[in-house]
Amino acid sequence: MSRSPLLAPGPPPGTKFGALHHRDYRRYFVLVLLSATADNIEHVISYWVIFQAFHSPTLAGFAVISHWVPFLLFSVYAGALADRFDCRKLIQISQGLFALASLSWAVLFLTGTLRIWHAAVILLIHGGAGVIGIAASQLIIHDIVGPERLPSAIRLNATSRYLAILLGPAVGGGLMLLLGPGLGLLVNILIYAPFTLFLLRIPYTGHLRDAEGKRRAPRFGLAEIPRLLAEARSDPRVIMMIGLGGTTSFLVGNAFQAQMPEYAHHLGADEAGAWYSVLLAANAVGAIIGAVLLESAPFIRLSARTAIGCAAVWGVLMALFPAAQSYPAAVILLVLAGTFNIAFTSMAQTIIQLLAPPHLRGRMVGLFNTSMLGLRAGSGVTVGVLGAVIGVQWSLTLSSATVVLVALGLLVADLRARPRPGLSA
């Protein structure tokens, strides 16, 4: 991998929300938001019912494992599929599996036949659906908007996921109240349909922009993994972003969300119960604010160095959060953390996609997803299990502080490297 400049010339100066200037991407964004909301609706309804039915902490833990471990085991393979095949078809398969999961929950809820093994199988189907579609969706937005608007498209795609996190509980709760869990999930299946049908109409396959002169990606096998890692190591920026993503995910990830009741209790949830919901939403709100700031006033320079710096600030904020003595302080820290989180994660993903060779882009994205998403399964140990020993406040503080130290180490290594022109730092 050559040490090429990071970006092609971008949109005209002053262009805000650059990817939304592309008509097809505007439609894609809206329908991805709809599909992501359906995903979160399913989480809200299914998690509530299985909790009521089994009161099983083990099953709740398995729900987390089944969501992230498929990314750890199969992201590179899913990326290889995205390199070789039409990404529209892969996303449609993913959407079909999401719909199948909702249908299965609905039938079992309506017939009253749900068993623990049913829940485990459906959770695995849901996890598989996520890993099949993610690399393909990342390649297809690159195909739609091109490298100039890719940073904007990646930030907006991340924004749609956070918006869905806020919308899903509200819509899912409403469907449960109006229709009950079973019928609510049958309606949820319909919410997946518009995006699936839209993919039948668009011409983008994930490969059109790179078709001319592009080498066909080889079939994927275990023997190819060392070559892929060697390709990643050939550009320090790529390996730094993969390492940064893995460090932040393994040490902190999103495990603190599962521990939020404990943090709320520390702040006095019994006295201000409404604040608990605010804590849960604060990180997502911060991410949305961060994306809007980056899109409307792109004052942060896209570079590996900037991504590392934003990750270090995020680590500091997450380390301070457990020490907050009031709800307002805790919310402010989580909002700020969400802002810096979307900054460094979207930059890291953009850097990977821009620097990856076109014929290996899906595999390289898959390698990054293994690190950034798959290693989140480990945060249950670093924050959760360690928290059972020393307390969740200390476990999150120590894990976050370690993120800061690793980020500072990467920053020093980058600063010592030979200066690179333009946006290649």
Cβ atoms of 135 and 143 within 8 Å: the answer is no
The residue-averaged pLDDT of 202-219 equals: 72
Q: How far apart are CA 15 and CA 205, in angstroms?
A: 27
**How high is the pLDDT of residue 213?**
47
pLDDT tens-place string over residues 77-135: 999 999 999 999 999 999 999 999 999 999 999 999 999 999 999 999 999 999 999 99
**How high is the pLDDT of residue 423?**
44
Q: What is the CATH number of domain 19-220?
A: 1.20.1250.20
Distance of CA 368 to the CA centre of its chain: 11
Residues 6+ apart with CB under 8 A from 260: 276, 279, 280
- The residue ranking higher by pLDDT, 3 or 388, is 388
- Domain boundaries of the chain, sorted by first residue: 19-220, 225-425
* Class at the top of the CATH hierarchy for domain 225-425: mainly alpha
What is the DSSP code string of 264-284? HHHHTTTT-THHHHHHHHHHH
Question: Please, where are the H alpha helices in 327-420?
Answer: 327-355, 361-372, 379, 386-390, 392-416
| pLDDT value at 14 more than 50 | no
The token pair that represents 379 in the structure block: 């945060």
Same fold, 19-220 and 225-425: yes
Residues 6+ apart with CB under 8 A from 55: none
Q: What is the DSSP letter of 296?
A: H
pLDDT tens-place string over residues 391-418: 777 888 899 999 999 999 999 988 887 5
Cβ atoms of 339 and 298 within 8 Å: the answer is no
User: Closest by alpha carbon to 50, among 128, 125, 120?
Assistant: 120
Percent of the chain with pLDDT over 90: 56
Cβ atoms of 183 and 110 within 8 Å: the answer is yes
- Helix or strand (DSSP H, E) at 374: none
pLDDT band at 9 (very low <50, low <70, confident <90, very high): very low
Q: What is the DSSP letter of 323?
A: G
**How high is the pLDDT of residue 2?**
46
pLDDT band at 212 (very low <50, low <70, confident <90, very high): low
pLDDT tens-place string over residues 329-386: 999 999 999 999 999 999 999 999 999 988 889 999 999 999 999 998 877 677 666 7
The residue-averaged pLDDT of 264-279 equals: 65
Percent of the chain with pLDDT over 70: 85
Query: How many CB atoms sit inside 10 A of residue 416's CB?
Result: 7
pLDDT band at 58 (very low <50, low <70, confident <90, very high): confident
Please report, for residues 91, 207, 371, the alpha-carbon distance to residue 359 in angstroms, rounded to integers and kept in the order given: 19, 9, 21
Q: How many angstroms separate the most distant Cα atoms in the chain?
A: 65
Question: Please, where are the H alpha helices in 180-303?
Answer: 181-201, 224-233, 236-251, 255-258, 260-267, 274-296
pLDDT tens-place string over residues 140-160: 999 999 998 999 999 999 999
**pTM (global) more than 0.75:** yes
Name the CA dihedral angle for 176, 179, 180, 182, rounded to a multiple of 10 degrees.
-110
Question: Tokens 């390289």 sit at which residue?
Answer: 364
